[in-house]
Amino acid sequence: MEPQVSDSGGTSSRHRRTRTGDITMIRTQASAAPVNPLEERNLLSAEAVSRWAGLSLGWVEAVPDLSGSCDTAGHTLLAMLDCGRARAEFHYGHRSIERELGAGAIGLFTPGGHADVSRWRCDGVRRIMLQFDQARLDDTVLSEQLVRMPLRTEIEFHDDDLAGVLRAMVHEVAEGCPSGVLYAESLSLGVAMRLQQRAASRYATPRERGRLSAAQAHRVEELVRVRLTQSLSIGELALAAGFSKTQFVRLFKNTFSCTPYQYILNARLQHARALVQDSTLPLASIAEDAGFSSQSHMTTAFLRAFGVTPGGLRRAP
């Protein structure tokens, strides 16, 4: 699907631009949207972003030559090259750092850790920018862990799992967020947990290996069964089990070998498949009854899971 383009770059903040040769100088005010501090062209429309229930993010198309101040306005900013190649220079007072960056290169910029000036030479670059706001995740345990083991600025690192989550985020938004709130929350918590694991690795702390008890797992399964056709959040599932969100996601995956979103999606698929095969209900009604956002969302999920559309399954002998 082609991304929806916002010419405004998704921000209404004031900014100043001057030109020096072929380099556009951009200095953003502190009120500028932190997911697009250099105010490049946003590939996600404001309407699409308004449907997104996860951490704030942008998907921007880089201009070939760019220089400016990248103040993150007191926020932690995660930036990844989705495609293309770039040469970057970061200047911190009298110290400078140069990098040749390719697709998948990720940078983490914490408050106070931004460069005074950064210069970019870009070739076919699209960036995914995410504002990591731990308060928005509303997870006490995660906040306590990040106080003990804080994130720090990293100019460049590579993490295939984290890159996959970031790409899944922007594609979900570009498609109109068909997978709903639970998917957005799951992806956002996935980013948080991955960053927390990177921070914890510097302190050699062990990862949690426990599982949900039989009673806790039963409470979660029963909640999913009763609310299958309705929207469910990570917070509601975690509350049923008696854990914080990040603790719950880890324990759930250790118990069921999948994420909460994958578990609920599979339950909806199994329910929908039974209705397709054993009833004459219209497919749109089945999609609604199984908790899918639309018939097209159900069809896409069927193709990925079963290799056949609901209509094709119903017509099969």
pLDDT digits (tens, 9 = 90+) for 185-201: 999 999 998 888 888 77
> Token pair of 236, please?
């509601």
Position with higher pLDDT, 119 vs 251:
251
Position with higher pLDDT, 82 vs 39:
82
Contacts of 205-211 with CB under 8 Å at 24 or more apart are 205/149, 207/250, 208/247, 208/250, 208/251, 208/254, 209/254, 210/251, 210/254, 211/251, 211/254, 211/255
Position with higher pLDDT, 144 vs 243:
243
pLDDT tens-place string over residues 66-119: 876 656 567 788 999 999 999 988 877 778 888 899 999 999 888 865 666 678
> What pLDDT is recorded for position 148?
77
> What pLDDT is recorded for position 115?
63
> What pLDDT is recorded for position 1?
43
* pLDDT exceeds cutoff 70 at 2: no
What the chain holds in terms of domains, given with CATH numbers, is 15-196 (2.60.120.810), 208-257 (1.10.10), 266-315 (1.10.10.60)
Contact 269, 297 (CB under 8 A): no
* pLDDT exceeds cutoff 70 at 274: yes
pLDDT tens-place string over residues 40-65: 788 998 898 999 999 999 999 988 88
pLDDT tens-place string over residues 138-172: 888 787 877 777 888 888 899 999 999 999 999 99
- What is the average pLDDT value for the chain, to the nearest integer? 82
65 Cβ contact list (under 8 Å, min separation 6): 22, 23, 24, 120, 121, 122
Least confident of 89-93, 95-99, 286-290, 298-302: 89-93
* pLDDT exceeds cutoff 90 at 34: no
What is the distance between the alpha carbons of residues 162 and 145, in angstroms, rounded to a whole number? 19
Please give the torsion angle defined by the CA atoms of residues 107, 113, 117 and 120, in that order, rounded to the nearest 10 degrees.
Answer: 0
> What pLDDT is recorded for position 306?
94
Least confident of 38-47, 63-72, 121-130, 231-240: 63-72
Q: Which residue has the tokens 């790409």?
A: 167
* pLDDT exceeds cutoff 60 at 27: no
